[in-house]
Amino acid sequence: MKGAEWYQADDVAEEYDAKRFSGGGRLIDEREKAAVLRALAPLEDKRILEIACGTGRFTATLAQEGADIVGIDISEAMLRQGRDRAYELGVDGHLEYMRGDAARLPFPDDYFDAVFAMRFFHLADTPASFLGEMARVAESQVFFDTFNRYSMRSLYNALLPMGSRLYSEREVYRLLDGAGLQLEGSEHDFVLPYGFYRKIPNEIAKPFRTVDAAIGQTPLGRPLASVSYWDARIA
């Protein structure tokens, strides 16, 4: 996985949320959580696995909604942040965090109702093997996001120290087919890349986001979108 050593550092974990989801980044956080909640609903008593759960943004939110959730990550530093978050929100008794490798998930086949991963596939060196493992332990649903090759993300990507893996729709369809998954639905968003929003205050970001979302409702929205959310079912 790209940047594995960087990702596991204590200082990166401590600053991760503040750097990405403060200021205009709050709009990204809200949109991502809305995508996950909508895709995985209804959540009450549903058994869910999050791959690369990081600091627990999604695990804690889903636990609050009644899901029975497990979060797995390679970074113990990130998991400590997640456990602290769960304790502060009072949901620490409703979820479990595990350190592990997403390429070799320590669960039997069909163990979870749904498996999802956010902010993961842009770092994946072998996306087919990761998606195959997600499909293996999911009984019915797999949900994930990708950054898109033919979008403004490709320009922003050149400025990143590690870069990101970018995907075309054709590549995603091949990955789904190889993992035995059928696409149930997809959403495509953010003409302006994430990096833009994170650099400006929330009050300034909101008008840009309004315009961005409006473009997304036009025929230009899908081809220009920098992020896609993929909702798939076991074939």
Give first-to-last CA distance, the chain, whole Å: 27
d(CA 99, CA 180): 26
Structure-block tokens of residue 235: 């074939």
Buried b vs exposed e over 5-38: b needs ≥16 C-beta within 10 Å? eebbeeebbeebbeebbebbbbbbeebbeebbee
**Ramachandran category for residue 66: left, alpha or beta (phi over 0 → left; psi -120 to 50 → alpha):** left
The dihedral built from the CA positions of residue 101, 16, 118 and 93, taken in this order, carries a sign that is positive
Pair type for strands 112-117 and 95-99: unpaired
Q: What is the pLDDT along the chain (235 residues), one digit of tens a residue?
A: 554 554 455 555 566 667 777 889 999 999 999 999 999 999 999 999 999 999 999 999 999 999 999 999 998 998 999 999 999 999 988 899 999 999 999 999 999 999 999 999 998 989 999 999 999 999 999 999 999 988 887 777 766 656 688 999 999 999 999 999 999 999 999 999 888 898 899 999 999 999 999 999 999 899 999 999 999 999 8
Quickly list DSSP for 84-146.
Answer: HHHHHHT-GGGEEEEE--TTS-SS-TT-EEEEEESS-TTT-SSHHHHHHHHHHHEEEEEEEEE
d(CA 118, CA 71): 12
Q: Please, what is the Cα angle at 193 between 190 and 199, to 5 degrees? A: 120
Determine the pLDDT at residue 4. Answer: 53
d(CA 235, CA 233): 6
Strand order from edge to edge, sheet including 138-147: 95-99, 68-73, 47-51, 112-117, 138-147, 227-234, 181-189
3-state SS, residue 212: helix
* Domains of the chain, CATH where assigned: 4-234 (3.40.50.150)
